Structure 1
Amino acid sequence: MVHVRQLDPSASPLEYFGFEARRLREAAGMTLEQLGKVIYCTGSLIGQVETAAKVPSRVFAEALDAAFMTDGFFSRLLGLVLRSQLPNWFQPYADMEAKAAFISTYQCQVVHGLLQTPEYAAALMAVEYPPDKVEELVAARMERQRILLRKQPPAVWVVLDEAVLLREVGGREVMRRQLTRLLAYRDDPWVNVQVLPFTAGVHTGLMGSFNLLRFEDDPDIYYSESYDEAHMTANSQVIRERSVAYARLQADALPVEESADLIARVLGERYGDRTDAVTPGRPPAEPSSPSTVPAARTSSTHSRCK
């Protein structure tokens, strides 16, 4: 007799998801294979999700909602599941980011996480994590990007060092798609991308990347990362100093239109001139199968959770 792992639904969002999926399947009198035929995936994959051995994708969650007519229950729960896969030290920031009305960020090494393509994110993650963990972290990062799909999304202002455009993360094709993604925000009213050119010389961002979050009713937040930890504070003096520093970075950076022109030029000259269409303000579509995201490509770039 095969032993089936019994989940504690109070242990984590992932175990609660698996527990509810199994409970509804058994209540419907369906085997794993029968449910698999309904939602177009293998019974083995369903079994892995039901035992919390695999993190489900959004496609999988939506398929369960359709199969069991649960009115979006699994789709809503998935956000908690994916958020729980983020490193513990990063989760407090992710919670605050999801509530922010205005997000300002300066990035000196990589594209900010809210604007990354899955392939670019996977290449970053693959430096420090095994393939199965990479899939989970990329899915969690794509879930973060859903705040850009809201009816009233946060205003996002991104200043990227020019080096970010030249650092080849994941290979030429990955960079081609990533820069195309950045160009897709050219006419987005909620997302503004500026490039800080090398010709700016010494500037106020030389200490490293940082984020500023502004809220409707709560104090502003300053956030930065070191190699193995994060620093987040609402200290008014820090906010004041970093806000002034960010304003100077914006002043030193190219205007939004000139920044887009530079991105397009680097895209054409360094990575080829093909531009795949990406909908402005929208994260790339997930895979059509109810599985997890594609395996990562390796890169020598530092990953982190930015």
Structure 2
Amino acid sequence: MVSIQELDPSASPLDHYGWELRRRREEHRLTQQRLGDVIFCTGSLVGQVETTRKVPTREFSERVDAALGTGGTLSRLIGLVLRSRLPAWFRPVAELEARATYISTFQTQVVYGLLQTPGYARALLAVDYPDKAEEMVAARLERRRVLERDEPPALWVVLSEAVLMQKAGDREVMRGHLAHLLTFRDNPWVQIQVLPFGAGEHTGPMGPFTLFRFDGDPDIFYIDGYDRGHMTANPPVIKERSFGYARLQATALSVEDSAALIARVMEERHGD
């Protein structure tokens, strides 16, 4: 077990967070238990966060900031902490999401991470990472904050119909997840289309991929792999995949018909 006295705030974002939490708590002469009482959690949880045995959440951070009057210090740190909990190979992709002005993605098996609910994400991540599922869910939810900015990226998602059929979690989780997708119907910056089974052959047989566009920087093409991905800014690849994506959009159901299909699947397959 790491002693709090041994924490080096420069060792990692999580160490920095634990060190800062302890420093701020002691400035106010509060015990771990007393701070826990104030922010509606256990003193044990406060201690686990201070000693890096537990990854904090954004809600925890905001409550501590309010209780200790930190001026938002921990709420600013939590973004770095949660990003550090992403798999190392995926962190560059998360950085692309944070910088992009336009994201277009095709998904064949699961919903794109920025649109996942906590329950859906937890069901997926618990399969391979049962001991780290909660912190990885928190990291995935942190990625979604890019859609809440004053100037969010434009996000266009084409989902294979198989994504709607593939169960993740129980019926309640799936129903809640599909209902969440429907909340984007009136969002001008998020467009969701479904590529139906009846579409037959299409231009995305190699699997899921994403195109990132930026203001002033070259476009990036990213394709998923089992435990790593591949990205490139090669102009011929960008041209080919951009055209291929446009064809997927043309082949898929309209945004309105896609929403109707999602609602129908939600009721018929995952309803009461």
TM-score interval for Structure 1 and Structure 2 normalised by the shorter chain: over 0.9
Give 1:160's aligned residue. Answer: 159
Give 2:230's aligned residue. Answer: 231
Give 2:93's aligned residue. Answer: 93
Q: 1:72 is matched by which residue type in structure 2? A: G
Give CA-to-partner distance per residue, 1:52-111, whole Å, 9 cap, x none.
Answer: 111101111001111221111111110010000000000011011111000100000011
> Which residues of structure 2 form unaligned runs of 5+?
none
Kindly report which structure 2 residues correspond to 1:79-158, keeping only aligned pairs within 5 A, or say none.
Answer: 79-131=79-131, 133-158=132-157
Give 1:205's aligned residue. Answer: 204
SS at match of 1:195: strand
User: 2 CA distance for matches of 1:145 and 1:156?
Assistant: 12
Shift in alpha-carbon separation, 1:6–1:189, aligned structure 2, 3 A? same
Give 1:259's aligned residue. Answer: 258
8 Å contact kept, 1:6–1:51: no
SS at match of 2:266: helix
TM-score normalised to the size of structure 2? 0.97
Give 2:186's aligned residue. Answer: 187
User: 2 CA distance for matches of 1:270 and 1:122?
Assistant: 20
User: 2 CA distance for matches of 1:190 and 1:130?
Assistant: 34
Q: Which structure has the higher relative contact order (CA within 8 Å, separation 6+)?
A: 1
Kindly report which structure 2 residues correspond to 1:240-251, keeping only aligned pairs within 5 A, or say none.
Answer: 240-251=239-250
User: 2 CA distance for matches of 1:176 and 1:119?
Assistant: 10
> Which residues of structure 1 form unaligned runs of 5+?
274-306
Give 2:39's aligned residue. Answer: 39
Give CA-to-partner distance per residue, 1:155-185, whole Å, 9 cap, x none.
Answer: 0000000001111111211110111011111
Give CA-to-partner distance per residue, 1:228-280, whole Å, 9 cap, x none.
Answer: 2110111111111110110010010001001001111111111116xxxxxxx
User: 2 CA distance for matches of 1:34 and 1:259?
Assistant: 51
TM-score normalised to the size of structure 1? 0.86
8 Å contact kept, 1:62–1:74: yes
User: 2 CA distance for matches of 1:173 and 1:63?
Assistant: 29
8 Å contact kept, 1:106–1:158: yes
Give 1:27's aligned residue. Answer: 27
Give 2:63's aligned residue. Answer: 63
Q: 1:20 is matched by which residue type in structure 2? A: E
Q: 2:122 is matched by which residue type in structure 1? A: A
SS at match of 2:59: helix
User: 1 CA distance for matches of 2:180 and 2:89?
Assistant: 28
1:5, CA displacement in angstroms? Answer: 5.0
SS at match of 2:185: coil
Question: In angstroms, what is the RMSD of aligned CA positions?
Answer: 1.2
- The share of aligned pairs that are identical, in percent, is 63
Give 1:302's aligned residue. Answer: none
SS at match of 2:210: strand
1:9, CA displacement in angstroms? Answer: 0.4
1:39, CA displacement in angstroms? Answer: 1.3
User: 1 CA distance for matches of 2:78 and 2:100?
Assistant: 21
SS at match of 2:62: helix
Higher relative helix content = 2
Q: Which runs of 4 or more aligned residues in structure 1 lie more than 6 Å from their structure 2 counterparts after TM superposition? A: none
8 Å contact kept, 1:13–1:77: yes
Q: Does 1:170 align with 2:169?
A: yes
